[in-house]
Amino acid sequence: MLLYAEIQKIFKSKKFLIALIVTIVLNLLYCLLLYNMSNQSVEFTKKYIADTEKSIKELQKKLEKEKDEKVKKIYQEQINSLNRIVQEEKIKIQYISNPKKEVEERAQYYRIMYENSKKTGDFRELEINKINYQILSKNISKGKYYIYGRKFDGWYYLLSQSYAIAFLMIIILALLIGSNIVSDEYKEGTVKILRTLPVKRSNIILSKYIATVLTVFALIIGMQLIFFIVLNLKAGTFKYFDVYYDWISKYKMIGFEIYPVLDNVKLLNLLESCLLQLITEIILIVAIVGAVIFFSTIFENGTFASISFFAIIVAISIFRQRLLVVKKPLLKLLSLIFPWELEEVYTNSLQQHIQWIYASFYVVVVLNLLLTAIFVLAAIKIFENREKLS
């Protein structure tokens, strides 16, 4: 009953209307950006190839002058990586109007690169090339030649939000709806009425927390699903749900060193990748709202609550990369708090970036849920203590 009353209060407030408008506008602007990017993809790719080739020439000059063998090896690895990118981008240009031939050529390219990696003994390249070859081969066997990101559709819209866009929207909506949800009770004096209710004080905070989570969830996930369905219906791309899109590499951990196991991988299709992103967003909503409620309970002014929370986000953002190079592995876990690039959480890139810890999807989930519990329990304790003091 208390939860229902809190949800009703949120829905009737001006802030909910503002949040709804902000959600729609941000999604429309994002769609416009993606549409323009997809139309300019050919020109952008050509410029990207030219810039990358320029970087390769600069690295080759450095390589020729360098005498230190270790540094030369690093330069050579960078050159090889950039050459691989150039070849991939040239394939995009060459076969942009022929997706079938493009996928077949890509598969052939990764097969050749895999054979070359076996000869050179580059284990990381060996893994990347083999799995990419497997992904494309499976798509060819299904007779589906879909290239992610080539057309403006629902898959592209949803998965591309993993790069900080969804994170930004969650923060904006959590602050709009939750930053005043407790502090307003003090400001308006209604907290005295709440204290007369025959309910546990913990239930008051929990109902506010759950109501905020459900509202942000409905706005973020609900709006994404609406845009996703409409864009896929318009582009006719729902049929590609089982096309393989990405992969997760299983890692063996010895201490805090990570060793990839080549043949133990999980291929992800478009649908699985989208579902994992939505799950990650839900975890992020739960964690961020917990932090917002905590600050809203501390301060009687919602503005101070918003500023404090925003300061924490900025601090985490600034020190995130620095935390990765500290000597104590447990401190590196702090870099996984409020992950802004959601794709890093559920694909192979997280393990590539963080080689010192077992940074899997499950670690990120557990860490952020633990943080949520701390924030919510602390908010309950502060609320109870305030009642004793008043």
pLDDT digits (tens, 9 = 90+) for 314-366: 888 777 766 656 656 566 667 778 887 777 776 655 445 444 444 567 778 88
The pLDDT score that the predictor gives to residue 323 is: 65
Please report, as a single letter, which amino acid is at residue 24.
I
- Lowest mean pLDDT segment, chosen from 12-26, 104-118, 126-140, 256-270: 256-270
Q: What is the DSSP letter of 163?
A: B
**What pLDDT does 356 receive?**
40
The string of DSSP letters for 276-311 reads: HHHHHHHHHHHHHHHHHHHHHHH-SSHHHHHHHHHH
Per-residue CA distances from 371 to 170, 281, 290 (Å): 17, 15, 8
Task: Give residue 259's pLDDT.
Answer: 57
How much is the average pLDDT of 226-240?
94
Assigned token pair, 210: 């759950």
> Which residues face 247 on adjacent strands?
267
Q: What's the mean per-residue pLDDT of the chain?
A: 82
User: How would you write 223-278 as a 3-class SS string?
Assistant: HHHHHHHHHHHHHCCHHHCCCEEEEEEEEEEECCEEEEEEEEEEEEEHHHHHHHHH
Which tens digit of pLDDT belongs to each residue from 188-231? Answer: 666 566 666 666 767 888 888 999 999 999 999 999 999 999 99
pLDDT tens per residue across span 241-287: 999 988 876 655 444 455 555 666 778 899 998 998 898 899 999 99
pLDDT higher than 70, residue 55: yes
215 three-state secondary structure: helix
Query: CB of 102 within 8 A of CB of 92?
Result: yes
Question: Which residues does residue 163 pair with via DSSP β-bridges, in sequence order?
Answer: 341
Report DSSP state, residue 341.
Answer: B
Amino acid at the residue 95: Y
Identify which has the larger pLDDT, 300 or 66.
66
Structure confidence at residue 158 (pLDDT): 93
Tokens 């929207």, residue located: 169
**Rounded mean pLDDT of 94-106?**
80
Q: Which tops the pLDDT comparison, 317 or 57?
A: 57
Query: 326: part of which helix (H) or strand (E)?
Result: none
Report the alpha-carbon distance of residue 108 to residue 286 in Å, rounded. 44
Please give the residue that has the higher pLDDT: either 201 or 60. 60
Confidence of residue 137 (pLDDT cuts 50, 70, 90): very high
Tally of CB atoms within 10 A around 76: 14
Is the pLDDT at 105 greater than 70? The verdict is yes
- 97 vs 290, residue with greater confidence: 290
pLDDT at 174: 92
User: At residue 17, what is the residue type?
Assistant: L
pTM: 0.79
pLDDT confidence of 98, banded at 50, 70, 90?
confident
H or E segment and range at residue 377: helix 361-389
CA distance 101 to 375: 53
Angle at 285 between CA 174 and CA 335, to 5 degrees: 105
Do the Cβ atoms of 145 and 103 come closer than 8 Å? yes
d(CA 41, CA 46) in angstroms, rounded, equals 9
- Looking at residue 81, its pLDDT comes to 87
